[in-house]
Structures are given as structure tokens and as C-alpha cells.
Amino acid sequence: MGVEKLADRLGENVLTTTLGKVVGWGRANSVWPAQFGLACCAIEGLMHTAGPGFDIGRFGSEAMRASPRQSDLMIVTGRVSQKMAPVLRQIYDQMPEPKWVISMGACASTGGVFNNYAILQGVDKIVPVDVYIPGCPPRPEDVLNALMILQEKIKAQGIKPRL
């Protein structure tokens, strides 16, 4: 095979891109959520989304890790009580960078119907949240939609450090 021929083939076999784009692409399609269920939303957001009806595996996120050290994404599924808040923050701190947070449901986002002494009025008071999902509980489709929004965000972020 001559060098000229090889050069012709290059266009078919080599893709030029930026490092940021390829890293973002890789990260976005292998977001591993922490297997961390809190309340009602855990049934819809983790179990049914991973179940046969919705299959989060289509988006590369079926690998739910029991250890925060192996996960990229924390889905805060449900209300966070005052007693759970320090625990949740510790789990977040244990996750390696880069990491993302989806606040699932009304309770995690704002406290929801539980406007009282026991519930943290929004998980964004203790961890930075990337995507909020409304609903009580949101449907699994909403969770998949949030995941796709997050994927766009991850792709755009590339290798740039988190702001």
C-alpha cells in the first residue's frame, strides 16, 4: 500500500476533534448514579427507571454503584430530613470529581408539601444541584429527560473544571 493511498484513506478512518469534546462525550454516556435512595422518589427514580419499562441502560447509566467512590451522579430521590442532611453531604463529599447532582422531586428541590421543621427546604442548601425535576414523584420519563439534559451539560463542560 502506497503512502498516497494511505493518505486517501485517512479521511475515512480518522476523526479530528478536541480533547474536551471527546472527554465530554465519554463522560456523558457513562454516568454512573449512586445507588442512594431516600424516599418515595427512589421507587420511581431508581427502581422503575432501571426496570424493564424504562431501562436507563439505554442512556449508559444502568450501573448504579453502591459506593459513592465509584459514582459520578447523585440522584437525590426524595425528602432530606434534618438528620439525613449531614449524611447526604458526606456522601457527596466522598464522590470523586467530576460529579453531578440531580434533585428529583418537589421535596428534594424545595421541601415540597412538607414545609415543616423536619425537612430541609431544598437540597441545594447543602449540595450544588445541576438539574431539578419537578413532580411528586416525577415519572421515570422525567428522570430520563433530566439525565439527557445533564448529558448535554456534561458534553458542554468537556475538560473544563467545574465552576
Partner 1 sequence: MPDTMPEQTLAPGVTITRERELGGDILTVNFGPQHPSTHGVLRLIVDLDGEVIRRVKPVIGYLHTGIEKQMEALRWQQGVVVTDRHDYLSPPINNLAYALAVEQLMGVEAPARAQGLRVIMSELTRIASHLIWLGSTGIELGAMGIFMYCLRDREKILDLNEEISGFRMHTSYIRPGGVTADATPRFLEMLDAFVKEMPGNIQEYENLLTRNPIWIERTQAIGYLSAEDAIRLGATGPMIRGSGVPWDLRKDRPYCGFETYDWEVAVEDAGDCYARYLVRIKEMRESVKILRQALDRLPGGPVNVDDRKILPPPREELDTSMEALIHHFKLFTEGYSPPAGDVYVAVESGRGENGCYIVSDGTHKPRRVKFRAASFVNLQAVEHMALGHMVADMIAIIGTADTVLGDADR
Partner 2 sequence: MTALKLTQGVLAHGVIAGAEWVSVPRERIRETLTELKSQGYESYVFMTCVDHLATPTVEKPPERLELVYQLRNMKTHRELRVRVFVPEDDPRAPSAHDIYAPANWDERETWDMFGIRFEGHPDLSRILMPDDWVGHPLRRDFPVGGEPVDFSEDHEVWRTAPPEA
**Per CB under 8 A, which region of 34-42, 48-56, 58-66, 115-123 contacts partner 2?**
115-123
> With binding defined as CB under 8 A, does residue 82 bind partner 2?
yes
> Which residue in the set 5, 13, 115, 163 belongs to the binding site for partner 1 (CB under 8 A)?
115
Binding part of the chain for partner 2, among 24-32, 46-54, 113-121, 138-146 by CB under 8 A, reads 113-121
- Work out how close the CB of 102 gets to partner 1 at its nearest, in angstroms, rounded to a whole number: 17
Between the two ends of the chain, the Cα-to-Cα distance in Å is: 49
Range in contact with partner 2 (rule: CB under 8 A) among 2-10, 108-116, 128-136, 141-149: 108-116
Query: Which entry of partner 2, partner 1, none binds 111, CB below 5 to 8 A by partner kind?
Result: partner 2
Pairing of strands 73-77, 100-104: parallel
Backbone φ and ψ for 8, nearest 5 degrees, come out as -65, -40
**Residue 162 Cα to chain centre, angstroms:** 15
Per CB under 8 A, residues contacting partner 1 are 35-40, 42-44, 47-48, 51-53, 66, 68, 78-79, 81-84, 87, 91, 113-119, 136-137, 139
